[in-house]
Homo-oligomer: A and B are copies of this chain.
Amino acid sequence: MNLIELFRHETDVAAIPAGQAVFRAGEPGNVMYVLISGTADVMVGDVVVERAEPGALLGEMALVEHAPRTATVTAVRDCVLVPIDAARFHFLVQQTPYFATHVMKVMAERLRKMDLRLLEAQAKKPG
């Protein structure tokens, strides 16, 4: 699913200049974002776990869980993002099952990456 296509006519966007944070770990997370243009780094602590490119979904965890952000996302190049609040998110999930499946796919990819990271850490351990 091409999220850029789905949100291309959006007028209510957030423009974040390079170097500035889209959101920070620990903040409450009431919206998620679709990255329309630009590049952003997703950092957990001081590790970049993902370099987000246009079409990426950001901040969906806090929205789904009603919990604080776990990651800090910073614009590496000027970013334009579409914010999606909880009401709209649930509307999209209900009206567009492919959107729901897409969100799950993105989360599964991220979980897989984290699992691989854990496997690598085990391989590096002496003994």
Q: Which residues of A contact B (CB under 8 A)?
A: 44-47, 49, 60-61, 64-65, 67, 70-71, 90, 93-94, 97, 100-101, 103-105, 107-112, 114-119, 121-123
Asked if B44 and A112 sit within 8 Å, CB to CB, the answer is no
Asked if A119 and B44 sit within 8 Å, CB to CB, the answer is yes
Which residues of chain B come closer than 8 Å to A117, judged between CB atoms?
Answer: 114, 118
A and B contact pairs by CB, cutoff 8 A, 13 listed: A45-B119, A45-B123, A64-B101, A64-B104, A65-B109, A67-B108, A70-B115, A70-B116, A93-B100, A107-B108, A107-B111, A111-B114, A121-B121
- What's the dominant secondary structure at chain A's contact region? helix
CA distance A118 to B108 in the complex (A): 17
A105, A108, A119: residue with the most chain B Cβ atoms closer than 10 Å:
A108
Which residues of chain B come closer than 8 Å to A122, judged between CB atoms?
Answer: 45-47
A67, A100, A116: residue with the most chain B Cβ atoms closer than 10 Å:
A100
